[in-house]
Amino acid sequence: MNAFEAPVIEWGVLMPVLVVLAAGVVGVLIEAFVPDRARRTTQVVLTLAALVGSLASVVLLWDRVTTEGYAFVVDGTYLLTPFTLGIQTVVAVLALLGVLVIADRTRTGQDAFAPTAAAVPGTTYEDAAREAGLQQTEIYPLVLFATGGMLLFPATDNLIVLFIALEVLSLPLYVLCATARRRRLLSQEAAFKYFLLGSFASAIMLFGIALVYGFAGTVSIEGALFVLAHPESQVLELMPGLVIAGVLLITVGLLFKIGAAPFHTWTPDVYQGAPTPITGFMAACVKAAAIGALVRVIFTLAAGLDEPLRRDLEVGLWAVAILTMLIGTAAGVVQTDVKRMLAYSSIAHAGFLAVAFVGFSEVGSQAVLFYVLAYGLATLGGFAVVTLVREQDADGVVLGEATHLSQWAGLARRSPWLAAAFTLFLLSMAGIPLTAGFVAKFAVFSAAVAAGAWPLAVLGVLASAVAVFFYVRLIVLMVLTPRSEDAEDAGAADGGSAADGARSAEGEPSADGGAPATATLAAARSTLARASVVVVTSRGPATVAIVLCAVGVVLLGVVPQMALDWATQAATFRPLQP
């Protein structure tokens, strides 16, 4: 019997992932050994340092990977291609910005997370934890573990490792979604839905991996590609349905993570219920990582499919892209909650990304790489703005985010710079020229035209035009619609019946002797809700994130050539050498 030979591992290639995961382990130890007063600061510094270290590792590997075409560990269990390294760059940058939003606190020292997430909402234990000023600093190691999974997700040739990376990034997110400081029941419901549907998606993906192993005898993507290219070596010609079924089931698991229809149903509820900083983190980073894994798996396997099977896969992607764009834009138009509107916007953008998949070419991977960076900056900045617009009760106590669209009326008069930044992010999501979103959409639609799928590109342009409505509607509310206080003052100056409405709200008869009406009561409550909106003062991190995202959106829209050249250099999604 031959002696076991330990594999030779080049640890330098693994550094982008190892730095983040090792920091997550250290973060767990910090929770056990560092005193309460220094724990939060230590966790924030460690998290930011780990992400900067991961980004630096990617930069150090860049020349080698783009020159040699690949770098791998243990026969491709960990495989870096230029496209994988590009996705890791995007994930690291967006995660760094996302942590700034997560670490932000208001002037009263409150963050977005419950003092003890394990407490049953509304109990005396939760109230005592809040009064004691407890902080949920376990958030930071969970974010690091999720980011490590995202960095690993597109960086493997092994389908089992792909599944492990999926679980490593998903499990912390299930917990993070349940940690909101306010609206606790909604947050826990969001986490439960995400966990339940995510478990189904993971099981479907695992079953697809089993089918691929069944016909190829390997869980290596490149190994499966070899079998597809040499059908005489297997019984492939006897079971083409097994091949396409395995690929489609793996695709389902990946499409779930990017929120593509018909696997999108978790997105609005989870985006609405999760803590807003976590929602932004998920919307930007998870989508980028999942898109990278989808390109790595689908584009590679498509290269080995014969023409009929390849055509079937293209038809499936056409259907997903059209359905996703249709649902995202149509449902987004009727939303009255800002977070749900941005959730359906995320679904629509998943459809726009899917447009670039048709053709399975490097032109598409280049467009996808630029798109996830542009979209990630805009969506992170948008959710960072949402964290600062809050409700306030009659006693002046700041509550949760003001997410109803009517509450955003007149925001430009309260905080013109914040409204300007949010307008910029919305215009970028809409694809207006001179923003990053315009260049990104032009790139993905051009990739579809280059692949001969011009009808899909036309549908994408039409869907983008429809989506402009719900972005512009919010901009009009912020800039052109007067605040509720201004409307009340105008009504009083004109001799209106504001006092009568107030008396009616208290159950007193109005000035004309009429009885109070339910409609009047509802109107008064609605007015009070709109009036109790305040823009909280950030302690700095969220403001820094908003500024950096805004600068990125402008630069990528006005002078995008450097980023496009970088995306072209990183477009290769397969090893250049066997």
Q: What is the pLDDT of residues 24-70, one digit of tens each?
A: 999 999 999 999 889 999 999 999 999 999 999 999 999 999 888 88
pLDDT at residue 389 greater than cutoff 70? yes
pLDDT at residue 201 greater than cutoff 60? yes
Paired sense of beta strands 71-73 and 398-401, if any: unpaired
Please report the pLDDT score of residue 119 as a whole number.
Answer: 78
| Rounded mean pLDDT, 302-320 | 82
Q: What does the angle CA 397 – CA 399 – CA 403 come to, to the nearest 5 degrees?
A: 140
Eight-class DSSP state of 80: E
Please report the pLDDT score of residue 132 as a whole number.
Answer: 73
SS3 category, 336: coil
| Rounded mean pLDDT, 502-531 | 42
Contact between 371 and 347 under an 8 Å Cβ cutoff? The reply is: no
Please report the pLDDT score of residue 505 as a whole number.
Answer: 36
| Rounded mean pLDDT, 97-104 | 94
Contact between 322 and 459 under an 8 Å Cβ cutoff? The reply is: yes
Question: How far is 381 from 376, CA to CA, in rounded Å?
Answer: 8
Please report the pLDDT score of residue 239 as a whole number.
Answer: 62
pLDDT at residue 571 greater than cutoff 90? no
Please report the pLDDT score of residue 497 as a whole number.
Answer: 41
pLDDT at residue 566 greater than cutoff 70? yes
CA proximity to 485, closest of 578, 392, 563, 372: 392
Contact between 292 and 83 under an 8 Å Cβ cutoff? The reply is: yes
Q: Which of 388-392, 416-420, 524-528 has the lowest mean pLDDT?
A: 524-528
Please report the pLDDT score of residue 71 as a whole number.
Answer: 86
Question: How far is 93 from 102, CA to CA, in rounded Å?
Answer: 14
Which residues lie below 8 Å from residue 513, measured CB to CB, with a gap of 6+?
none
Question: How far is 537 from 521, CA to CA, in rounded Å?
Answer: 32
Bridge partners of 404?
Answer: 337
**Res. 560 pLDDT band, cuts 50 70 90:** very high
Say what percent of the chain tops pLDDT 70: 88
**Res. 508 pLDDT band, cuts 50 70 90:** very low
Eight-class DSSP state of 237: G
Q: Which of 147-156, 367-376, 486-495, 538-547 has the lowest mean pLDDT?
A: 486-495
Q: Write out the two tokens for 187.
A: 């947050």
Average pLDDT over the chain, rounded to an integer: 85
Mutual angle of helices 541-558 and 362-388, in 10-degree steps: 140
Say what percent of the chain tops pLDDT 90: 58
Bridge partners of 73?
Answer: 78
CA proximity to 212, closest of 204, 221, 203: 221
CA distances from 324 to 459, 484, 520 (A): 11, 36, 41
Please report the pLDDT score of residue 236 as a whole number.
Answer: 52
Please report the pLDDT score of residue 486 as a whole number.
Answer: 56
Which residues lie below 8 Å from residue 265, measured CB to CB, with a gap of 6+?
197
Please report the pLDDT score of residue 21 as a whole number.
Answer: 96
CA proximity to 108, closest of 390, 422, 529, 530: 390
Please report the pLDDT score of residue 327 as a whole number.
Answer: 94
pLDDT tens track for 12-21 = 899 999 999 9
pLDDT tens track for 248-262 = 899 999 999 999 988
**Res. 1 pLDDT band, cuts 50 70 90:** low
Kind and range of the H or E run holding 18: helix 11-33
Question: How far is 313 from 299, CA to CA, in rounded Å?
Answer: 11
Please report the pLDDT score of residue 232 as a whole number.
Answer: 60
Instruction: Give this prediction's pTM.
Output: 0.90
| Longest Cα separation, the chain | 101
Question: Where are the extended beta strands (E) located within 290-417?
Answer: 389-392, 398-401
pLDDT at residue 403 greater than cutoff 90? no
CA proximity to 367, closest of 303, 278, 439: 439
pLDDT at residue 480 greater than cutoff 70? yes
| Burial class of 76 by CB neighbour count within 10 A (0 to 12, 13 to 18, 19+) | middle
Contact between 377 and 546 under an 8 Å Cβ cutoff? The reply is: no
Higher-pLDDT residue of 506, 314: 314
Count, in order, helices (H) and strands (E) of the chain. Answer: 25, 5
pLDDT at residue 369 greater than cutoff 80? yes
SS3 category, 555: helix
